Structure 1
Amino acid sequence: GIEYGGHSVVIDPKGKILASTQQEQGVLESRINLDELTRWRKEFPVLNQMLPECP
């Protein structure tokens, strides 16, 4: 089977860590403010600059 090293995180568009599993096993859940995400993507449209060969 596949083993993962942990350290999973959910990070908001500004870089703030919303949730973290550290090294323990578990399920990570977090709420995301979609309105804030939409505003952030309009202000910083970095996905529009992604090269086609970079998925």
Structure 2
Amino acid sequence: MKRKPDLLWILVILFGLGVVTTGYAQSLWANKTDAPVELAQLQQQSTAFKR
């Protein structure tokens, strides 16, 4: 009878999938010319100066 995978291996696999998914998402994000986060930060800075 096969032994069930240890919890450690499950966590390692989940961590690896998270790293791969994050890398893929960042590569897609870098290809975009209009990054919403940068725009949001610029808008917050401009509203801070208006006060």
TM-score (norm 1): 0.25
* Larger Cα-atom Rg: 2
Structure with more contact order per residue of length (Cα contacts < 8 Å, sep ≥ 6): 1
Larger helix proportion of the pair: 2
Larger strand proportion of the pair: 1
TM-score (norm 2): 0.26
